[in-house]
Amino acid sequence: MPVLARFLDMPSVPMAGDTDMPHVHGSGFGASERFAVAPGHEDRAYFHMPGGQSGHPLSPYYRAGHEAWVRGERQPFLPGPAERTLTLRRE
């Protein structure tokens, strides 16, 4: 929906890369994530994701990680400490 693009799309930033590269992207397409991990060395693994974990635009995690993606900054592959918990109860 073009009318909502400015609220939903990640910022358009010129970046290096091409269609046949690990850093694949172009106008309207690109990698959804990149990571490298060697078994037994998970603590040294890295992860890149162009957007956040949440698909909800009002979530604080919607755009989390985008700047790191643009800069090529490695993010840890392993999870950090829990920030929130969700408890499901049966009543």
The pLDDT tens digits along the chain (91 residues) read: 788 888 888 877 777 777 777 677 766 777 777 888 999 999 999 888 888 878 888 888 888 888 888 888 888 889 889 988 999 999 8
Domain contains 88: no
Query: For residues 45 and 36, is the Cβ–Cβ distance under 8 A?
Result: yes
* pTM, to two decimals: 0.66
Residue 17 lies in a domain: yes
Residue 90 lies in a domain: no
Q: Which domain holds residue 47?
A: 2-76
**67 falls within a domain:** yes
- Measured from the Cβ of residue 22, the count of other Cβ atoms closer than 10 Å reads 10
Query: Is 82 inside any structural domain?
Result: no
The number of distinct structural domains making up the chain is 1
